[in-house]
């Protein structure tokens, strides 16, 4: 089992170009079984594949066990001469200040810290321990919230600087890996409490579905791969059109020719509008399908001076026939 897992991680790295020779990798390690499997496999592969590691660990200040987890991860790193970076924060306090949930706040702080460490260490990528079960949970969450093809694909092996070498490995195999090597990882008891939507999906919904289909995780994985092929094709088609849409851009605005895509299928129109928005504001947070449909209607009317405004995020204005600006 140990060699099998190591080989799968190696194949995932090579086949998806996750880590290149001489790369420095920041490994996000909580001390739990997933992240310890990730850290241990990468540590065993680093000499063969010629990359180096730095571990980043965050104490959220929520659970009393957190200090012990820090000691556990640091001890593992010291024994193997792996640089260890540590952050301790008061997530409950910060979440109240930012008026967001502790779950969201903790995630934001973690990734802010990982990116900070990556920049300070002049590292290339950040490895996180998302596995196959995590991806199934993400897809289920996306379905519940309402999603398109991209949501049904779930997580990718690589997104910007984030890499996921364990993405094809089931949780049960990760637990076996830890047991075989006697890594004795830490276990977060809150993962067994139905306090977050993801926990409810993992603890209640998926087990119920598995009563109907014991191979549900594999089934979702196969579905994901089929949809990914379709989505990749549509994305490539969209990108080819999008290249000719932008007329001019600077930090304050993007001018685009919407006649280049308004005769396309609604699916393609929506994707291009999303790409224009993302190019301007760097994300699609809070942008819902209704917004995209409204923008499409605005462009189809093609009336000079008409605007579509979303709060303080952006404004799209038609400045002359077939030409609009987002600012």
Task: Give me the residue spans of the domains in the chain.
Answer: 2-217, 244-326
Closest CA to 50 of 22, 82, 80, 81: 22
Stated as kind and residue range, the H or E segment containing 72 is: helix 66-79
* Separation in Å, CA 7 to CA 182, 221, 288: 19, 19, 41
Stated as kind and residue range, the H or E segment containing 141 is: helix 132-145
288 pLDDT tier (thresholds 50, 70, 90)? confident
The predicted structure's pLDDT at residue 146: 83
Q: Rg (Cα) of the chain, in Å, rounded?
A: 22
283 pLDDT tier (thresholds 50, 70, 90)? confident
Euclidean distance between the first and the last CA atom of the chain, given in angstroms as a whole number = 54
* pTM across the whole model: 0.84
Stated as kind and residue range, the H or E segment containing 175 is: helix 171-180
Neighbours of 65 (CB within 10 A): 15
Query: Strand, coil or helix: what is 278?
Result: helix
Model confidence at 192: pLDDT above 80? no
**Each residue of 23-33: pLDDT tens digit?**
999 999 999 99
Share of the chain above pLDDT 70, in %: 100
Structural contact between residues 190 and 129, judged by C-beta atoms closer than 8 angstroms: no
Q: Which CATH number fits domain 244-326: 1.25.40, 1.10.3470, 1.20.120, 3.30.465?
A: 3.30.465
Structural contact between residues 118 and 127, judged by C-beta atoms closer than 8 angstroms: no
Distance CA 178, CA 2 (A): 9
Question: How many helices (DSSP H) and strands (DSSP E) are in the chain?
Answer: 13, 11
**Each residue of 254-275: pLDDT tens digit?**
999 999 999 999 999 999 999 9
Distance CA 133, CA 217 (A): 7
Distance CA 52, CA 221 (A): 31
Q: Which two tokens stand for residue 300?
A: 């189809």
Q: Do domains 2-217 and 244-326 have the same CATH topology?
A: no
Structural contact between residues 25 and 54, judged by C-beta atoms closer than 8 angstroms: yes
The predicted structure's pLDDT at residue 123: 98
Stated as kind and residue range, the H or E segment containing 26 is: strand 24-28
**Each residue of 6-60: pLDDT tens digit?**
999 999 999 999 999 999 999 999 999 999 999 999 999 999 999 999 999 999 9
Q: Is 2-217 assigned to CATH 2.60.40.790?
A: no
Distance CA 141, CA 28 (A): 23
Query: Strand, coil or helix: what is 38?
Result: helix
């Amino acid at each position: 089992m140990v060699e099998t897992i190591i080989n799968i991680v190696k194949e995932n790295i090579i086949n998806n170009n996750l880590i290149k020779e001489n790369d420095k990798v920041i490994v996000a390690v909580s001390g739990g079984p997933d992240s310890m499997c990730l850290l241990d496999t990468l540590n065993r592969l680093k000499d063969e594949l010629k990359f180096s590691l730095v571990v980043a660990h965050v104490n959220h200040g929520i659970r009393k066990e957190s200090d012990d987890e820090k000691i556990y991860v640091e001890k593992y790193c010291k024994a193997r001469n792996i640089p260890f970076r540590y952050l301790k924060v008061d997530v409950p306090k910060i979440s109240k200040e930012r008026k967001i949930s502790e779950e969201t706040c903790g995630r934001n702080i973690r990734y802010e810290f990982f990116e900070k460490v990556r920049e300070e260490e002049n590292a290339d990528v950040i490895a996180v321990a998302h596995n196959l079960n995590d991806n199934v949970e993400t897809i289920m969450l996306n379905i519940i919230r309402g999603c398109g093809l991209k949501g049904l694909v779930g997580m990718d092996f690589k997104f910007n600087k984030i890499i996921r070498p364990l993405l094809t490995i089931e949780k049960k195999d990760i637990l076996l890996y830890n047991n075989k090597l006697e890594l004795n990882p830490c276990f977060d008891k809150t993962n067994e409490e139905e306090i977050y939507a993801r926990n409810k999906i993992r603890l209640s919904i998926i087990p119920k579905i598995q009563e109907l289909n014991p191979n549900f995780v594999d089934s979702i994985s196969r579905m994901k791969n089929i949809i990914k092929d379709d989505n990749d094709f549509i994305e490539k088609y969209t990108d080819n059109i999008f290249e000719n849409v932008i007329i001019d851009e600077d930090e304050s605005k993007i001018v685009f020719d919407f006649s280049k895509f308004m005769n396309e299928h609604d699916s393609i129109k929506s994707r291009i509008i999303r790409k224009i928005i993302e190019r301007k504001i760097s994300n699609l947070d809070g942008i819902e399908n209704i917004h995209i449909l409204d923008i499409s209607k605005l462009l189809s009317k093609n009336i000079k001076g008409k605007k579509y405004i979303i709060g303080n995020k952006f404004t799209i204005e038609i400045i002359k026939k077939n030409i609009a600006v987002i600012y």
